[in-house]
Structure 1
């Protein structure tokens, strides 16, 4: 069922009021703000409506540009923002923000924006985009060839007994419960290798780690660290 319809039913709103509440950032789906009234939600999804929450302003949707030239655009992706839309066609994505930024700056109605690589929705970090199609393939080839080194920082549960370390565990799209995970049969998974080292410990409860990827699989770091008993906090 559509999110706006569920919100209207659960909280006694009109359909239009429910759509407005979602677009204003007053609705959470499973603990995360959602701005898409047309999002299809599962029956068991946890929905929260806060009529007193301040409206999601345009300042929160601005693009944090780190570097720009006629070929490339390097930006900082905030947490909870998708790099690009999923089949649900979310509107407030990093790709959409970059398009609006370039449109305002250069006066083009539909500027070209190419995504070279992605970060998970809950990850904050640097994203490289290109401003013309000719620049896309060379940069994508560099990432595929691992000519660009990517490092990730995260806080995980627990304290490592041995570090630095290397995690070599193949991944599958469905580990048997519909979720991505480690393959117990190496012949069925895709190779995935993560290097890590501990930067700081917080008592006996948590550690800050730096991870470096040999491969770039979806949710690779989260899956690997959870598999060795140190899930990412949050």
Structure 2
């Protein structure tokens, strides 16, 4: 990969990257985050939104996937914006080590804790991937194969080798990764509400905050809900089959159907969230329960299930006692 950098007084010069084969298929936003480690995500999305990043002299958006040989031009970036990263604490390392669900020479799958971001950022000094790289010093290129919201717990896949990363990305794009979530939502669902095939549009506002809504000009998104247990008309425990991987997909589709996720502070219902906290819930009830896919290059099927955290099990038990 070739690049030029005239760094001076904390500000980089114009930089050019020629994309090698190993990075083909990667999203431009993820590519930039790896190149500009520590620069706030909000800054990266801002320069993308303003067209300051060019690929082959053309404007692109955050979802653009790189091709071998692409010429990526970056504008001058103030490196002083980088957040000071710190190594993970011993408690964080122990927590993550205890939540490893699967590991081999190619993949690492953990039960991500709720409240922990997958990446470091402007206000997050260490994320899951940075902590795991610190724990696995011989794997400096350990990469996330996908993402989970910081508030979401459950199955999170990381790839140890770039070719495996590309393979998992390809499976995700082709819809060949089965992803099952469990969530607690408001009210009782009707059969007609369970299949949600509605496009989602994502907008990055200042500060890098994602705002997602159902919009006819958005990207296709398919979510299928299945009722596991209803608690009178107050709440429902739902199993969710995610056929696409749009940002905040489950949360926005559930909200659109009138059944927002419990303790979702962004898309949720304030009164329902207040009620859920009275039941004892202190986090968003959304959990990536299972992931299932086959790596063609290895002819290897990977099926992993993440147990619910004790707090979520306690809420289900309390609601079962109260309403059944």
Is the CA contact (8 Å cut-off) linking 2:193 and 2:257 kept in structure 1? no
1:83 aligned to 115, 118, 123, which one? 118
Is the CA contact (8 Å cut-off) linking 1:164 and 1:197 kept in structure 2? no
Partner of 1:225: 254
> Post-superposition shift, 1:92?
2.3
Q: TM-score, normalised by structure 2?
A: 0.49
1:155 aligned to 160, 164, 184, which one? 184
Is the CA contact (8 Å cut-off) linking 1:163 and 1:198 kept in structure 2? no
Distance 1:117 1:175, change over 3 A: closer
> Post-superposition shift, 1:213?
1.5
Partner of 1:171: 200
1:92 is the counterpart of 2:126: yes
Higher relative CO (Cα under 8 Å, sequence separation at least 6) belongs to 2
Is the CA contact (8 Å cut-off) linking 1:164 and 1:198 kept in structure 2? no
Question: How far apart, in 2, do the equivalents of 1:175 and 1:209 lie?
Answer: 29
Question: How far apart, in 1, do the equivalents of 2:220 and 2:258 lie?
Answer: 20
Partner of 1:119: 148
SS at match of 1:173: strand
Q: Structure 2: which 5+ residue stretches go unaligned?
A: 1-39, 43-87, 264-324
Q: Structure 1: which 5+ residue stretches go unaligned?
A: 1-37, 41-55
1:71 is the counterpart of 2:103: no
SS at match of 1:84: coil
Farther-moved stretch of structure 1 (128-137 vs 88-97): 88-97
Is the CA contact (8 Å cut-off) linking 1:159 and 1:201 kept in structure 2? yes
Is the CA contact (8 Å cut-off) linking 1:175 and 1:182 kept in structure 2? no
Partner of 1:50: none
> Post-superposition shift, 1:216?
0.8
Distance 1:196 1:175, change over 3 A: farther
Question: How far apart, in 2, do the equivalents of 1:163 and 1:75 lie?
Answer: 35
1:71-130, CA deviations, whole angstroms, 9 ceiling, x for partnerless residues?
A: 1111110111111234x2622211012112212xxxx3x622111111111111111111
Partner of 2:219: 190
Q: TM-score, normalised by structure 1?
A: 0.67
1:180 is the counterpart of 2:212: yes
Question: How far apart, in 2, do the equivalents of 1:75 and 1:99 lie?
Answer: 14
SS at match of 1:135: helix
SS at match of 2:191: coil
1:39-67, CA deviations, whole angstroms, 9 ceiling, x for partnerless residues?
A: 99xxxxxxxxxxxxxxx963245312111
SS at match of 1:179: strand
Is the CA contact (8 Å cut-off) linking 2:179 and 2:243 kept in structure 1? no
> Post-superposition shift, 1:209?
0.4
Question: How far apart, in 2, do the equivalents of 1:163 and 1:156 lie?
Answer: 16
> Post-superposition shift, 1:153?
0.4
Equivalent residue pairs, number: 173
Is the CA contact (8 Å cut-off) linking 1:163 and 1:196 kept in structure 2? no
> Post-superposition shift, 1:137?
0.5
